[in-house]
Chain A
Amino acid sequence: MATFLSRSGPFTDPDYTPEFGLESLVTSKVLVLGAGGLGCEILKNLVLSGFRHIECIDMDTIETSNLNRQFLFRSSDVGKSKAIVACEFVTRRLARRGLTLVPHFCKIQDFDDDFYSQFSIIVCGLDSIEARRWMNEKLVSLAATAGRIIPWIDGGTEGFQGSVKLMIPTITACFECYMKLVPVQTTYPLCTLASTPRLPEHCIEWAHELEWPKRYPDMDFDADVPEHVDLMYQLAKERASQFGIEGVTKAKTLGVVKNIIPAIASTNAVVAAACCHECFKFVTSCADNMRDSMYYNGETGVVCVSDPYDKAADCAVCASLPQDYVIDERCTLGLFVAGATQKFGLQQPLFFTAEGDLYNSKKPDAFATDIPVVKLIPFADRVAKVQINIVDSSTPSTLKLILKVQ
């Protein structure tokens, strides 16, 4: 890596020095989210690229079906934590001076702001949209409220297609800005399932959504119980033969009810490589990063492009960032509401926290407006411990306030 980083090229930043690149590479702390199909590749790539301090979070355990592509795992590892086994394998196989890999066998939601704040950059190979949205909100809020901007690179694959996003919270488009590109999950009209099935999927969804609760009212379907999958397969098969539909197999049944997307090892490798490459360029500054996002399609021919992507003006996370709002210690709910309504030009706002409504202008009588705000929500060191959200028809986004007592 020293050889690589010491050469300049036509795209190298004029202020770049090899010392800076190398120093950043060995001192930066990288957090890897997910130690599955992408995570295994990412961990291996980052260590081979010269990163020294890596932590990894994954809440899952290893399953037999992972072994074809999650190459850090062996059949004797089935049932163990992905994060722990992956970090141990990489440490053993690629041992070098100063390398530390720290696994965390838990959910990303188990960690607080202080934990995330220690990282220079995050590389994310999660398979859940919900987890990424959570991470996104956390990182945008860290940037907005604590000035701690942690860039993150998100990789995702679906069969032969994959994408990479480079996101710098509050500066570039955030994950939520991209949500409008996420296709809505395929669903079939219930009446098609009930009356005019044409596809094997129609038969399986019919069995899953309509027939199972009728046939087995006291048994909730669990896709992880093999006997349940067998019963579901039988229901779907009977349905298919009634309508002369071919192609209902057990594998297809499991695929539809669990919404399994086939994972392709080569797609994971391509996407993980692009993620780590962006991570390497960002940390060392040795070359420019791509603008915003990359898309890879290996399904028909090979297409690979990178695309700029602008922030969404109506993004629920980054279009309106949490902002400080200073109040007097004796400020009542009524005064606070009136002040905020005037300041932000609200029409019929609802003020609420995670616990419930603080004030609803549609039901003004339901709230005691003469109580000081400091008695209504918890404060620590004169700063509110919960965020106040305001929704109002005057704005497509949500206003978020962090109250501070003067």
Chain B
Amino acid sequence: MVMAYIRAKKDLQEYEEIPGISIKYDEANPMRIDLEVCPNEGLYQGGKFKFVCEVPEDYPNRAPEFKCLQKIYHPNIDLEGHVCLNILRNDWKPTLTLQLVFAGILHLFLQPNANDPLNKDAANDLSKYPAQFKRHVLNAMAGGYVGDEKFDKVVDYPDRRYL
């Protein structure tokens, strides 16, 4: 059997629930995992962010790939859903596990990082205009606009509560 499959099964079996993350996958296909990140503190608190994690055929020699399924306003996630997280690219090591990279994704929401921007406008706001950044995050999470860009609603309460 393919090593990547067995390793993914092992990672998932040893996965210990992380508060703020729920995962779903088909037991016969551990190579695709649906992830919902619900940060329980910080600016993104209250949002439900959906990601898909794809485990490559040469895992763990190559890092799993993540994509955000919603259009969200975040300095390290672009409008197409690409994620910039060091351990998913240049700092990947085969000894890392799915547990650790899931925690890494959650960490991006608890501590967005202006130094590794994928969404340059958001990173600029975060580093220079924190109050405006906070407003933009809340607007975007409620499904509103930031500049000309309309974002996906990721919160449960009625639209535009924060506007």
CB pair A189 B116 closer than 8 Å:
yes
What number of B residues sit within 8 Å (CB to CB) of A? Answer: 33
Query: Which residue of the partner chain, among B9, B82, B117, contacts A389 with CB atoms under 8 Å?
Result: B9
A191-B3 in contact given A130-B58, A180-B94, A214-B80 (Cβ < 8 Å):
no
Q: Is A188 an interface residue (CB 8 A)?
A: yes
Interface: A287 (CB within 8 A): no
- 9 residue pairs A–B, Cβ–Cβ below 8 Å: A130-B58, A184-B92, A191-B116, A350-B9, A357-B28, A389-B6, A391-B10, A392-B13, A393-B14
**Residues in B9-27 with C-beta less than 8 Å from chain A:** 9-10, 13-14, 27
Chain A CB within 8 A of B118 CB: yes
The majority secondary structure among interface residues of chain B is loop
Q: Does B135 contact A (CB under 8 A)?
A: no
A354/B13 contact (C-beta < 8 A), A188-B89, A190-B83 known: no
Q: In which size bucket is the chain A interface?
A: 35 or more
Q: Which residues of B contact A398 (CB under 8 A)?
A: 6, 10
B80 engages A194 (CB within 8 Å): no
How far does the alpha carbon of A179 sit from the alpha carbon of B95 in the complex, in Å? 12
Chain B proximity mask over A93-125: 1 for CB below 8 Å, otherwise 0? 000000000000000000000000000000000
Residue among B1, B63, B76, B92 making CB contact with A354, cutoff 8 Å = B1
Contacts A179-B61, A354-B1; A348 near B78 (Cβ below 8 A): no
- 6 tightest A-B contacts by CB? A356-B28, A191-B116, A391-B10, A191-B84, A190-B84, A350-B13
Asked if A323 is at the interface of the complex by the 8 Å CB criterion, the answer is: no
Q: How far is the CA of A190 from the CA of B90 in the complex (A)?
A: 9
In the complex, whether B107 has a CB less than 8 A from a CB of chain A is: no
Given A184-B94, A190-B82, A393-B14, 5 more A-B residue pairs with CB atoms under 8 Å apart are A188-B89, A191-B76, A356-B28, A389-B6, A391-B9
A189→B90 contact, CB < 8 A = yes
Please pick, from B28, B61, B63, B80, the residue contacting A182 in the complex, using a CB distance under 8 A. B61
Which residues does A use to contact B, with CB under 8 Å? Answer: 129-130, 133-134, 137, 176, 179-180, 182, 184-185, 187-191, 194-195, 209-210, 213-214, 316-317, 348-350, 352, 354-357, 360, 362, 387, 389, 391-393, 398
A contact residues around B9 at 8 Å (CB): 350, 352, 389, 391
- How many Å lie between the Cα of A213 and that of B79 in the bound state? 12
Residues of B within 8 A of A (CB): 1-3, 5-7, 9-10, 13-14, 27-28, 57-58, 61-63, 76, 78, 80, 82-84, 86, 89-90, 92-94, 116-118, 120
Most A CB within 10 A of own CB, among B10, B62, B117: B10
**Given A176-B3, A187-B92, A191-B116: A355 and B10 interface contact (C-beta under 8 Å):** no
Taken together as a complex, chains A and B put the C-alpha atoms of A36 and B161 apart, in Å, by: 64
* Chain A residues whose C-beta falls within 8 Å of the C-beta of B14 in the assembled complex: 391, 393
What residue in chain A is nearest B6 (Cβ atoms)? A398
Q: Do the beta carbons of A194 and B117 come within 8 Å of each other?
A: yes
